[in-house]
Chain A
Amino acid sequence: MSVQLRAGYHVNSNMPADAYLIPLKLTWAAGPLQATEIVYPKAQMEKYSFSPDPLSVFSGQFDILSKFKVSSTATPGPTAITGKLRYQACTDRMCFPPKNVDVALQVDIVR
């Protein structure tokens, strides 16, 4: 999954250092495909005027890789899997409430 943020915005990485910060998280619903691993890019450590320490963030364009296992009971043919991307974005002056975005992936299961 490719993510593009507007210039000047950042989201917390999947592993922010501060426990109060909301991490970026991609989850997939149970279905014919089972997510076995979500691979996030390497976080950037950025310094902002509002934080004494650098923050672990993503900005600009980045990709999240999902690895799936096909269920043994999956029916061959085209299907879709759905998931949610949770993120919380900020600029260097303000932050925006956390959001959950629905995501979907079209796949074709073959034997």
Chain B
Amino acid sequence: MSTVRDLVRDYSISSGDSNGDFKLEIPLWEISDSGVTALWGPSGAGKTSVFRCLLGLEEVPEMKWEYQGADLASLPTPERRLGVVFQNYELFPHMTAAENILFAAQSRKIPVEEFKARMKELAASLQLESCFDRRASLLSGGERQRVALARALIGKPRILLLDEPFAALDSDLRKEARALVKSAITSAGIPTLLITHDREDLDALANHVREIRNGKLI
């Protein structure tokens, strides 16, 4: 179990926008260190803000995130060793699919032999062989999602964070994609935090669910 404490951030102050009064207020949140924990809520509830705070992309000085004896919140973003799939996947468009994955492996300093072995596993489980050598900008939506997942998993992250990972896909593709993602994260055995507004994502993937509304867990 990892524990997030004092995730409190007042956006009306930080943005200097007097019209906005949005505030994240999560004094305590326990995230399971196995399976998929989902943070579910409607649009504007603060899901993506929580996601960015956990990644360290927004500053929350008081926050603590205890994970296996370490305080992840006190570490700079690269050292938190988190895997991440953004809503629009954010592949690097000037690189091929394989180069995107290699970039993550090199950043985490994964030894070459280990990289090759993991790449082989991921290619098989995520059906990536056909798109390895194509530039990211030329991949289809489903391929982008699978490459983004492989890129997040290659570095053996402590926790995998998925932000609305199926929102950019057509409804026909979503069912298939959910099954593929579930099988990949189950075989990787990495605790996952899923952020979604879609109940079908919960039914297909989540082992634990917390609901968020107006910046507060309920």
Check if A and B associate. Answer: no
A residues neighboring B (CB under 8 Å):
none
- B residues touching A (Cβ–Cβ < 8 Å)? none
